[in-house]
Structures are given as C-alpha cells and as structure tokens.
Structure 1
Amino acid sequence: MSRARAFAGRAYAPFPWIDHEVVKLLVSETATNAVLHAGGGGFDLICHSPMGGSIQIELHDRSRIEPLRRPHTVWDSHGRGLELLDLLAPGWSVVPTLTGKGLIFSLEAKPCTETVSPPPTTR
C-alpha cells in the first residue's frame, strides 16, 4: 500500500491544486481493501491526468466481489474505507471488468486559499 500511495503522490506532485494528502489516503484505503478483501491478489492503479479541475483514480483487483461496508465501533481501527470514499469522493463507483472489478473515484481540485499581499509601498 505504501508503494501505491507513493506512486499516486508522485503522479500528482506537479499539480499544487490537488489535495495530495486526500489522494494518498484514498489510494491507501482502496489498495488495502483490495489486498485484504479481494482474495489477496495484486491490483492495478491508474492515476489519470487532471482534466477540467478534477482527477480520476482507478484501482483494479482480481475479485468480482463488491466492497462491503463493515460494522465498526468508534474504537475500531478498521471498517471506514467506504465511509471515507463517501465523504471525500462522493459518486465513487465499482465496475465489473474482464478480470475482476475496478473501483473508480474522482476528486475535485481544492480551491486556492492563499492570498498574496502586495508589497509595502515606500515613500
């Protein structure tokens, strides 16, 4: 999962308007789910180039079983991956493929919140 997270971080490093921490979090969550819950097989990660203010990321695994919401308590350290997708990438989807399935999510560009003050005037 750390390799997938690092790959996504490098893929979007040239684009400062993308929230890199959210990208890495969601890639890590989806990759972990693929390894733990999709039969332990490998996965493929596709990071699409930014277009129109958003990016799309696909994670393909070798299982046809759709992700399941897992019950958890406030103290559990697992079971929140789909909740994170719902919150940070609403509209994510799962599509069947010839070899398993793909989980696809999109992220909108974060708004620029930095303001630049003009230099002080001298008299």
Structure 2
Amino acid sequence: MSQLDQRGYVLAVERYPCTAVAVPEARAIAARAYAPYPWVDHDTVKLLVSETATNAVLHAGGGGFDLICHSPVGSSIQIELHDRSKSEPTRRVATAGDSHGRGLELLDILAPGWFVVTTLTGKSLIFTLEATACPADPTAPPPPSSRPTAP
C-alpha cells in the first residue's frame, strides 16, 4: 500500500490565510475532527498541526494554506497541510534557547515517514500517526482484562 493509500475519507478541510491567528484555528479544527476517536493521540495531532501550520505561515510566502484531516484507516490517521510554496521544508539546527527550528525534528520523532509531495499549486506535507491501541469499536468499553477485579 502506498503512503497516499492510507487516507480515509475527509473529516475536515479548511483554507487559512498565512497569518498567526490561523495556527490556533487549524489546531482547533483538527482537535474537533478527531475528538470522536479516543484512541487518537489528540495532543500529538494538535502539536504537529501547530508545527506544520506555523511553518506554512512563516515560510510559504503567503497565499494561504489548506488543512485536510482524514478519517482513520486501520490504526492510523493521515493529515495533510498544503501551501502555495514549491520549496521543500528546510531542516534547521535549533539550540536550547531557540524558539524555532524543531518542527521537522518533531515530525521525525512523532510521525516517522512524513513526506512532501509537489503539487501544481505548491506542495503538501503529509504525515501519518499510528494509534498505540485501536479498538474495533472506539465507543466499546475496554476489554475485561483491563477492568479492575472485585476482591
């Protein structure tokens, strides 16, 4: 299966201007999109959406960006951030006091296998997050072995 085949249907799609206020808005949209899935690491989703949206705002040269959140496929979710720049993300070496320069390192650690696809209008940065445990039915109670037993 190719990396692009890991996409489910679209849960959320939104276009944002390349402004600082767009970053928390994109983070909130992603958080709402995955709220029904308790096995999704919501903190990691919010962190990586913040990082990729901030990179678009700071480095894509304007023109806006699009966030697409895909439904789970198996035990993974895929998120795309499209911007209007054809320039590949540039890895920076951040020192302890730097407030920027860690976005790609965070992607490497939390979403290994992330990739960039050049499009007709710019590029897409795509990352996949794997669940640590994906129940068959996300609304089902935990299995009996994980429930406390009566004395």
Q: Same fold (TM over 0.5)?
A: yes
CA contact (8 A) 1:35 1:41 kept: no
How big is the alpha-carbon RMSD for the aligned residues of Structure 1 and Structure 2? 1.4
Equivalent position to 2:63, from 41, 57, 72:
41
What is the letter of the counterpart of residue 97 of structure 1?
T
1:116 offset after TM fit, Å? 1.8
Q: Deviations over 1:37-89 (max 9, x none)?
A: 01032100000000110000000000000100123211111100000000000
Aligned match of 1:64: 86
2:77 to 55, 72, 96: 55
Q: More displaced, 103-112 or 53-62?
A: 103-112
Distance 1:41 1:5 in 2: 19
Higher deviation after alignment, 66-75 or 21-30: 66-75
d(CA) in 2 for partners of 1:3, 1:110: 27
Matched to 1:100, the amino acid is: G
Question: How many corresponding residue pairs?
Answer: 119
Taking only the aligned residue pairs, the percentage that are identical comes to 73
What's the secondary structure of 1:15's corresponding residue? Answer: coil
After TM superposition, give the deviation of residue 102 of structure 1 in Å.
0.1
- The TM-score normalised by the length of structure 2 is 0.75
Unaligned runs of 5+ in 1: none
Q: Match of 2:31?
A: 9
Quote the offset at 1:19 in angstroms. 0.1
* Aligned counterparts of 2:72 and 2:59: Cα–Cα separation in 1: 29
**Structure 1 ranges of 4+ moved more than 6 A:** none
* C-alpha contact (below 8 Å) 2:75/2:133 kept by paired residues: no
Normalised TM-score (structure 1): 0.92
